[in-house]
Amino acid sequence: MKCHEVDFDIFGDDMQIVEVELDPQEIVIAEAGAMNYMEDGIQFETKMGDGSKPVGGIMDSLMHVGKRVLTGESIFMTHFSNGGVVKKRVAFAAPYPGKIIPLDMMEIGEELICQKDAFLCAAFGTSIDITFQRKLGTGFFGGEGFILQRLKGDGKAFIHVGGTVIKRELKGETLRVDTGCLAAFTSGIEYDIERAGNLKSMVFGGEGLFLATLRGHGTVYLQSLPFSRLANRVLQAGGSLGGSKGEGSVLGGLGDMFGDN
Q: What is the pLDDT of residue 251?
A: 44
Q: What global pTM score does this model have?
A: 0.79
Q: What is the pLDDT of residue 32?
A: 84
List of domains in the chain: 7-233 (3.60.160.10)
The string of pLDDT tens digits covering residues 55-100 is: 555 556 566 666 666 656 667 889 999 999 999 999 999 888 899 9
Q: What is the pLDDT of residue 129?
A: 84
Residue 204 has phi, psi (to 5 degrees) of: -110, -5
Q: What is the pLDDT of residue 11?
A: 95
Q: How many CB atoms sit inside 10 A of residue 206's CB?
A: 6
Amino acid at 190: E
The string of pLDDT tens digits covering residues 140-178 is: 554 444 578 899 999 999 999 998 999 999 999 999 888
Q: Give the Cα separation of 231 and 95 in Å (integer).
A: 13
Q: What is the pLDDT of residue 233?
A: 75
**Of 87 and 261, the one with more pLDDT:** 87
94: Cα separation from own chain's centroid:
10
DSSP state of 3: P
Query: Distances from the Cα of 61 to the Cαs of 45, 73, 117, 202, in angstroms?
Result: 17, 15, 21, 44
Confidence band for 246, pLDDT divided at 50, 70 and 90: very low
**Of the candidates 191, 169, 177, which has an alpha carbon nearest to the alpha carbon of residue 224?**
177
